[in-house]
Amino acid sequence: MLEKKIVEQYTILADGQVQCRYETIILEDGIPLSSSYHREVVEPGQDISKKSALLKKIVNGNLWDAETVAAYEAKKAEALNPKKDIKPA
């Protein structure tokens, strides 16, 4: 039996995140027996040194410029520390 993992799809979100969809195929004598899917999200500024060459080309080719990374970090920080505009009654 052989297990083969391939990148099936990349989806780029508006905030610069990249969703990577992987397919794992189990083969026996070259015939697919089963397959399953796994998705991973890569965030702007994340270490991608161990990711695929194609993903590196996608994000380093202008997708993750300094402005995109800064905007994503600001959005993430605000989500973790929302402003509370609640006034006492």
What range does the domain containing 46 cover? 2-80
Residue 86: is its pLDDT beyond 90? no
| Within-domain flag for 86 | no
| Within-domain flag for 12 | yes
- Whole-number Å distance between alpha carbons of 37 and 17: 19
Token code pair at residue 12 = 């780029």
Residue bearing the bigger pLDDT, 85 or 7: 7
| Within-domain flag for 51 | yes
Q: What is the mean pLDDT of the segment spanning 2-14?
A: 93
Token code pair at residue 50 = 């161990």
Pair type for strands 18-28 and 2-12: antiparallel
Q: Report pLDDT for 85.
A: 66
Q: Report pLDDT for 87.
A: 66
| Within-domain flag for 89 | no
| Within-domain flag for 44 | yes
Q: What is the mean pLDDT of the segment spanning 57-85?
A: 88
Q: Report pLDDT for 37.
A: 96
Token code pair at residue 72 = 């994503």
| Within-domain flag for 18 | yes
Residue 84 per-residue DSSP state = -
Token code pair at residue 63 = 């997708």
Q: How many structural domains compose the chain? A: 1
Q: pLDDT by residue (tens digit) across 10-68? A: 999 999 999 999 999 999 999 999 999 999 999 999 999 999 999 999 999 889 999 99
